[in-house]
Structure 1
Amino acid sequence: MAAGRGAELLRPPMSSGRATFLELFFDLAFVVALTRVSQRFADLSNDTGWALVTGFGRTLLLFLALWLIWSHTTWITSRYEPERSVIQAVVVGTMFAGLVMAVALPRATEERALPFAAAYLMVMLVRPLVVAAALRGHPRRLVPFRLAAWAAASAPLWLAGALGPERLRLPLWAAALAVDYLAWALGWPLPWVGASAVHSWRIAGTHLADRHQQMFLIALGESILVIGTVFSGTDYSAERAAAFGVAFTTSALLWRTYFHRAGLLLTEALGRARMPGRLGTASERTHLLIVLSVLVTSVGYELVIDHPYGPPRPSWLLFVVGGPVLFLVARMRLEYEIFGRVSRSRVIGVVALLLLTPALVRGAPMVGLSVVAAVLALVVLLDALRGRGRPSEVSASPIGREAPGDRDSEA
């Protein structure tokens, strides 16, 4: 009987795959967070050498912590019924914690370390316990208990990093985050209880795809916000206007490249997969790279619009060229996940950008961004030529096919 009451929390087979308005509301906190991440990356533009490496590492760590919060929430709403009041309370509470993390993020590795860590731990520790209590006697309650147990194991590292010397903060938090990601990859194994591999979970695959696509659009929207904000806040000139136009064109090309075939068919692929959790796990990692690449690219927009023909700075190529390269590599991975192949256009784009990078070191920032836009335009053109006159493809993912012994142990 208890299991029956707890089962009310699970997503029914006929549940809508579309994201709820609450989830879209939840994403607003992460719009703020991604903007803060982008700004932290931008603050590194004048750094070189070891300062650039450590600064990039700190910001990447904070981004990965935010991504873990967002991704866990997405899996929760894909696994449980988001219209239930308990799940809605969980989402709203997570949104508040995410907003606290976003507010603390600009100085999260300095004097605001404790609020950032406390908000993170509130989600990782308290949220699974609430879900476990709501599941009552249902067998799936063991999954959130696993999450809480592993979060408790990494909590001392988060708190020691927040309260201890600043020089130890980065290594302690890196170790804590490694524990959290390792636990997720292994299925949060516990003695006598075993593990619950995420890829074997029963989820609403179409919902998960919808959420990943929305997060990409949110990141792309953040880049548009950067373009508009930076251009409106600087003195007008023809050079800055041209940089504004090239930056917008680059974002439009990123959108087109993502949604051409593979990105558009992500929902279909997850909906058709026998094991949507397996494909969803791969897609989540791919979209982590895609979102990160868009954030890094948006920093390049800011630098170029501010100083389109300023003196060349090699470190700027990390953002102007590095972001688009990472995007194309991640997009190649997405294409493999959907079709089991990789188009030559993506490979050509990556190779072209890598070969041109040494020459761009001595060029003005505007030249670098223009070359990036031209290469992305070439990728889009090759995609269009390849698809001309051919019937629309259907997803044929090599991931998500059920293997012997695969099952959801808490189903």
Structure 2
Amino acid sequence: MKAFSSHTQFVSWFRHASPYIHAHHGKTFVLSFEGIAVSSTRFRHLIHDIALLSSLGIRLVLVHGTRQRIKQNLEERGVTQQYANGMRITDDTSLEQVKAACGQITADILALLSMGMTDSPEIYANIRIVSGNFITARPLGIRSGVDFMHTGEVRRVEANAIQQQLDNGCIVLISPLGYSPTGEIFNLSVEDVSTSVAITLKADKWVSLNELEQAISDNDHLTLQETRELLKNASDADTFRILRGAAHACEQGVNRVHLVQRNIDGGLLMELFSRDGVGTMISADPYEHLRQATIDDVGSILNLIAPLEEEGVLVKRSREKLEMEIGRFVVQERDGTIIACAALYPYPEEHMAELACVAVHPDYKGKQRGDALLGFMEKQARKNHIHRLFILTTRTAQWFQQRGFTQAKLDKLPITRLNLYNYQRLSKIFIKDL
């Protein structure tokens, strides 16, 4: 990560990171990366970050790939490589290079973790890393007339053995090799192994460090359904494998999957210890969602609306008033933080309702959250047999006009609301038919 420009920036970052440090302690994370990453000059920084995660009490399982290393080894030997449906056909010659690649990459990772870094040797002092035959595999066999030979898929993950090592404080390193009860060895994909391990361990997160297409990486959060839609249009085999694994992991109970571009220095830490991260998070449950406000949200709502009250955009509300009216409020929550709110005050006799206290945190404006709030409130109003929605505003008239509200005169307000009209603010009135 870039150096902090001031001590206040560091303090601010650390304060924002502290809830995540607490939340991640004792949790199980599966981290996967392609073997080519090990050859990168930045991999040493990643190793440092992995060691830091371990020192913070996070239970880590590392799964490395071998795809590019195998390809390189075979090309150097002039061996023709065969693929079908984006998967390698592993013949006898290829299998030897698969085993060699796994050995090379495992040795490189172990060496780096053992060596540590000169500027923070204490982080590495108590790190232990173990590897072993934790994966039982079976052959892919013949599919669509293609014999995949020594290419296989995960049959079983030895969860108890892995858990025992994690309980002992070790980092577990797993290669994409699987073994059959009859002694056969199979070449597996890193996505199949990491997904299977995450599901079997009931991991809290699977983090894939990769080089996904920019179109996917530009999304900071995907729902499971959105991931399935992207999967239909995946344009290359790597993207397809990762998205398929992510969707499957979420379907099978992994809380969150994070897709992080491995070339971002410090990307792993920024993804795990900041609210917005730097990658794409996939979750089965809504990471950001609208819900009814509760009394526990009062403090967060007050903090959200205070700047707008000071600017005169919103009418000031006391804590007591907000507590009394909290049932009128809806909030938009992002990873436990309230980032937007709105309130609905019905006037059932006139079949009208006032939309009030619409606020979006400045860091999250411009991403249609106001539209989401408005749409949600309109739906709630219709459920309560409200035919017309009205707002009073001094600053945001244009935004509401663009969304179907038209200016109206004072006498169009419900009589009880008209009696409360503040003639000093001189708010304009806009009404929308539902």
TM over 0.5: no
TM-score when normalising by structure 1: 0.26
Higher Rg: 2
Query: Which is richer in strand?
Result: 2
Structure that is richer in helix per residue = 1
In the superposition, the TM-score normalised over structure 2's length comes to 0.25
